[in-house]
């Protein structure tokens, strides 16, 4: 009974102190906090709860360990008694008392018996504090930037129906107030689609193996309990494919458009797609403009390389990406390399470049050859579709147009090349 009286008086004192301190929140003691006595010069009575503070200004209540028997209450003291409980806080009281013995569990009331056992409590100003609400941050495949807490994504994408995949959370080291130790101590709770099956092997920033029995696009999220605050991060989507789509080919109508006379429009077409047990339902293009089986792009500069991607879908929720053959623009008015006579040779680099051969219009044969300084097989591919191969040396007849103007040429290795025409 006496403890309750003293506790009520202590709360009144704390309320006055807290109000004069601009409603500062009184936090729990840290594990390394140093206990110092209250500034009051009076010696507390035995077995009375004492209001104490840490060196950081944190207040807490304890009871002494004296074995003196409790003193009798007088009638005036009993009139000041007040029951302190969590329910009284909910009814509008300024302060509540919570058990400091656990950071995750709170006692419903502070009884005199608990004080007599020496338990510690912290006082929380409920007028200015509340439980931290989760804040949701979107994720993307782009690099992490300031203002985001982190990203998460599947380790493999896409997957096939019935396969498993793990998801991974990546923290942003530039996040305001980022603390690597707190990230290491954080807990991670993953959420997946209702049909997903989690094997429970997740640990830290990596989820367990998640199996998807149904096809279609799906996503996930992770709730990171960071320094006591839950933060929800939405992951990048995952594509779960059903019936496979195979054999698609995507080719341009011209491999090496010449922009000498102005912009050129190139068209790609996709063909030969098949999907066993499911009908092809659509095409989406990236890098070219189109909605069906063909798409186009306009090129304006020499040396442009474009290789669109077409996403083919079917009625079993499968979306399969196919990369089209690339094109490289040339400018016959400004070739990378030029051969002006049959006795002339040029040093061509590995890769694709533009070559102009001035053989003239009245020729009946064009022969091209390259001698490589490297080892092994070499190949020569022209924008016309002609191809030559050989070991260290490749030579052969090619289309007449190669010796009559500008074309793209792609070498598997650097070589010295020449042309002959008749």
Q: What pLDDT, on the 0 to 100 scale, is given for residue 256?
A: 86
pLDDT tier, 403 (very low <50, low <70, confident <90, very high otherwise)? very high
pLDDT score of 138 more than 50: no
DSSP code at position 402: G
Beta carbons of 76 and 108 less than 8 angstroms apart: no
Beta carbons of 37 and 115 less than 8 angstroms apart: no
- Identify the residue with better confidence: 4 or 216: 216
- Quote the distance between the C-alpha of residue 115 and its chain's center: 49
Q: Which fold has domain 249-328?
A: Immunoglobulin-like (2.60.40)
Rg of the chain on CA atoms, in Å: 39
- Over the stretch 101-113, which tens digit does the pLDDT of each residue have? 444 344 444 443 4
Beta carbons of 281 and 245 less than 8 angstroms apart: no
Stretch 373-384: mean pLDDT, rounded? 84
pLDDT tier, 373 (very low <50, low <70, confident <90, very high otherwise)? confident
pLDDT tier, 27 (very low <50, low <70, confident <90, very high otherwise)? very low
pLDDT score of 247 more than 70: yes
Q: What pLDDT, on the 0 to 100 scale, is given for residue 56?
A: 41
- Identify the residue with better confidence: 50 or 222: 222
Q: What pLDDT, on the 0 to 100 scale, is given for residue 145?
A: 43
Q: What pLDDT, on the 0 to 100 scale, is given for residue 175?
A: 87
Which residues neighbour 248 within 8 Å (Cβ) at sequence distance 6 or greater? 270, 271, 272, 273, 310, 312, 320, 322
pLDDT score of 220 more than 80: yes
Q: Which fold has domain 337-421?
A: Jelly Rolls (2.60.120)
Beta carbons of 81 and 10 less than 8 angstroms apart: no
Q: What whole-number distance in Å separates Cα of residue 77 and Cα of residue 71?
A: 12
Q: What pLDDT, on the 0 to 100 scale, is given for residue 343?
A: 86
Which of 229-233, 258-262, 373-377, 413-417 comes out lowest in average pLDDT?
373-377
Domain 135-241 matching CATH 3.40.50.620: the answer reads no
Mean pLDDT of the chain: 75
Q: What whole-number distance in Å separates Cα of residue 252 and Cα of residue 256?
A: 9
Burial 308-338 (b: 16+ CB within 10 A, else e): bebebbbebbbbbebebeebbbbbeeebbbe
Structural tokens at position 247: 């054999």
Stretch 95-100: mean pLDDT, rounded? 39
Of 346, 319, 415, 409, give the one whose Cα is nearest residue 375: 415
Stretch 227-240: mean pLDDT, rounded? 92
pLDDT tier, 234 (very low <50, low <70, confident <90, very high otherwise)? very high
Work out the burial of residue 136: count CB atoms within 10 Å of its CB; fewer than 13 is exposed, 13-18 middle, 19 or more buried.
Answer: exposed
- Over the stretch 44-56, which tens digit does the pLDDT of each residue have? 444 444 444 443 4
Q: Residues of the chain with pLDDT > 90: what percent?
A: 51
Does this chain's domain 135-241 share its CATH topology with 249-328? yes
pLDDT score of 253 more than 90: yes
Q: What pLDDT, on the 0 to 100 scale, is given for residue 47?
A: 45
Domains in the chain: boundaries? 2-125, 135-241, 249-328, 337-421
Stretch 17-40: mean pLDDT, rounded? 40
Q: What pLDDT, on the 0 to 100 scale, is given for residue 89?
A: 36
């Amino acid at each position: 009974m006496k403890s309750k009286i003293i506790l009520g008086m202590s709360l009144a004192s704390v309320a006055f102190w807290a109000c004069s301190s601009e409603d500062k929140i009184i936090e729990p003691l840290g594990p390394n906090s140093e206990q110092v006595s209250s500034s009051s010069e009076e010696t507390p009575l035995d077995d009375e709860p004492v209001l104490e503070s840490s060196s950081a200004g944190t207040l807490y209540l304890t009871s002494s360990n004296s074995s003196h028997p409790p003193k009798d209450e007088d009638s005036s003291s009993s009139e000041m008694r007040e029951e302190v409980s969590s329910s009284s806080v909910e009814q509008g009281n300024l302060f509540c008392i919570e058990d400091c013995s656990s950071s995750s569990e709170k006692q419903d009331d502070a009884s005199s018996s608990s004080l007599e056992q020496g338990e510690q409590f912290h006082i929380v100003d409920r007028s200015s504090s509340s439980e931290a609400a989760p804040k949701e941050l979107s994720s993307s495949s782009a690099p992490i930037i300031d203002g985001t807490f982190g990203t998460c994504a599947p380790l493999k994408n896409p997957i096939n129906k019935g396969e498993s995949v793990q998801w991974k959370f990546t923290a942003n080291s530039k996040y305001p107030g980022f603390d690597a130790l707190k990230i290491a101590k954080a807990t991670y709770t993953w959420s997946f689609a209702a049909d997903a099956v989690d094997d429970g092997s997740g640990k830290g920033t990596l989820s367990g193996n998640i199996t998807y029995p149904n096809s279609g696009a799906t996503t996930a999220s992770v709730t990171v309990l960071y320094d006591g605050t839950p933060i929800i991060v939405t992951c990048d989507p995952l594509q779960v494919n059903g019936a496979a789509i195979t054999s698609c080919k995507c080719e341009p109508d011209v491999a090496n458009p010449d922009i000498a006379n102005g912009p050129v429009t190139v068209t790609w077409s996709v063909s030969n797609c098949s999907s066993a047990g499911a009908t092809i339902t659509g095409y989406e293009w990236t890098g070219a403009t189109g909605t069906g089986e063909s798409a186009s792009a306009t090129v304006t500069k020499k040396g442009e390389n474009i290789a669109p991607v077409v996403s083919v879908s079917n009625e079993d929720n499968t979306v399969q990406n196919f990369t089209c053959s690339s094109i490289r623009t040339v400018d016959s008015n400004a070739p990378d390399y030029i051969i002006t006579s049959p006795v002339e040779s040029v040093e061509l680099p590995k890769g694709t470049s533009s070559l102009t051969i001035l053989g003239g219009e009245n020729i009946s044969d064009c022969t091209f050859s390259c001698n490589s300084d490297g080892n092994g097989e070499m190949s020569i591919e022209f924008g016309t579709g002609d191809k030559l191969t050989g070991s260290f040396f490749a030579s052969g007849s090619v289309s007449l147009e190669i010796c009559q103007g500008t074309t793209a040429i792609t070498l598997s290795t650097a070589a010295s090349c020449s042309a002959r025409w008749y």
